[in-house]
């Protein structure tokens, strides 16, 4: 799946109602918010849902899709070290989500949420 198709599907399915403009800045903000929400849902469901759960599966899938979009949107040429650092943080989150899901360990997922929260806070400070 390529970036353009991923972002179109993600926006159409999850964020379109939340964004009143087509601003890429606003879309990234909503993806970051959605990532935090889905990581929290995944972590909670790891502790409270049956082994096979659609809530757990959906939040897992949506979290990984959001990370893919965020990583694919980085411009390494213009962003330099910042883009590399963001990619590494997103990679850490992806690994944590996959490990937490596989091991059914919510703590691994919960521990990966604060870096995304920090990125979101910084992103919200940027006025576009």
Q: Is 26 helix (H, G, I), strand (E, B) or coil?
A: helix
The span from the CA of 19 to the CA of 30, in Å, is: 8
The span from the CA of 58 to the CA of 79, in Å, is: 31
Task: Return the CATH number of 3-13+23-125, one of 1.20.120.340, 1.10.260.40, 3.40.50.300, 3.30.930.10.
Answer: 1.20.120.340
* Domain range summary for the chain, segments of one domain joined by +: 3-13+23-125
- pLDDT, residue 25, reads 85
Angstrom distances, CA of residue 108 to CA of 28, 40, 91, 97: 24, 11, 14, 7
Average pLDDT of 95-120? 97
Average pLDDT of 11-30? 69
- pLDDT, residue 3, reads 47
| CA-based end-to-end distance of the chain | 29
CA 117 to chain centre: 10
The per-residue pLDDT for range 54-106, each reduced to its tens digit, is 899 999 999 999 999 999 999 999 999 999 999 999 999 999 999 999 999 99
The per-residue pLDDT for range 22-35, each reduced to its tens digit, is 688 889 999 999 99
Burial group, residue 44, by CB count within 10 angstroms (0-12, 13-18, 19+): middle
- pLDDT, residue 14, reads 56
What's the predicted TM-score (pTM) here? 0.82
């Amino acid at each position: 799946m390529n970036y353009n198709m991923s972002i179109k599907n993600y926006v159409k399915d999850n964020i379109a109602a939340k964004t009143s403009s087509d601003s890429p800045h606003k879309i990234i903000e909503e993806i970051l918010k959605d990532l935090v929400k889905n990581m929290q849902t995944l972590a909670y469901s790891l502790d409270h849902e049956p082994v096979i759960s659609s809530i757990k599966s959906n939040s897992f899938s949506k979290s990984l899709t959001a990370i893919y979009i965020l990583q694919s949107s980085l411009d390494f040429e213009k962003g330099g070290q910042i883009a590399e650092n963001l990619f590494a943080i997103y990679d850490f989150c992806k690994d944590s989500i996959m490990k937490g899901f596989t091991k059914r360990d919510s703590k691994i997922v919960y521990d990966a949420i604060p870096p995304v929260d920090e990125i979101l806070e910084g992103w919200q400070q940027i006025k576009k």
